[in-house]
Amino acid sequence: MTDASDEPRRIVFTGAAGGIGTMIRPLLAPLYPGLVLSDRVKPVNLLAGETFVAADLAKPDEVVAAVKGAHSVIHFGGFSVEGPWDTLLQANIIGCYNLFEAARLAGVRRVVFASSNHAVGFYPRKRKIRTDVTVRPDSRYGVSKAFGEALGALYADKHGMAVTCLRIGNVGPCPLDVRRLSIWISPEDIVQLIRIGLEHPDIRFDVLYGASDNEASWWDNSRARRLGYRPTGKAEDHRAYAVAEQEKVGRDPVGDLFQGGSFCSAEFTNDVKRAGP
């Protein structure tokens, strides 16, 4: 899968001190020696070969410095949950633009963008969706991720950057409730998707779902499989635990209808019959 002409490569990983970054750094480090980590704060316990460049995504000059000389960027930086509009605007919209524009100026060839299931969260759970559906964000956070996907398409089409958007479900050792039985992805499987984005020669602009081999999945991830994705994690192996945890949470009359869960029900003032496609 690797294009030998791409070597040697400087790969920058934004959001390296975040929750997902902390989980997958030990898996990425041996695959990509010399990985450059970036975040507002320094990750703990830098591994051998890793270097760190501090950068606030909302500050263009810092982003330019972080991606200087990079061949590829794994862009997991930003605000990772729902929040006030101005917070999301600075981190996920202005910050995402700053990243793509700095990457263009630096001649970056590939970007793997951490999108989210919340870009399509208002699809009903009873409907299986492909990657080419119209975005239906469930939150301001979801809107910011839909923006990032659109921006990635622009830079792919206008500037020839190879962009892979991963609509990530929930990364962790196991699914934490019944909803996540459908959207869970193991750290090993998300690294596999990142490798496709960084290495596969057929990538131009792609949206892939960040999910393991989940029997209850709501997503058609056939494009990822055509690109060689072979997930090893299986949410069903953890069903008993997820069901037990769900019983502690109880029902959500709105969130339980839609793929985005509680992101849909938060601040909800609509009639559920008028929500979603």
Least trusted range by pLDDT, from 2-6, 66-70, 187-191: 2-6
- The 10s digit of each residue's pLDDT in 96-110 is 999 999 999 999 999
- Could you give the residue numbers annotated as active site? 141
CA 41, 141, 188, 14 dihedral sign is negative
CATH number at residue 144: 3.40.50.720
| Domain membership of residue 212 as a residue range | 4-274
Q: Which residues are 129's β-sheet partners? A: 219
C-alpha to C-alpha distance for 145 and 114, rounded to whole angstroms: 8
Task: Point out the least confidently predicted range of 43-52, 56-65, 93-102, 118-127.
Answer: 43-52
Count how many domains the chain has.
1
pLDDT, position 48: 84
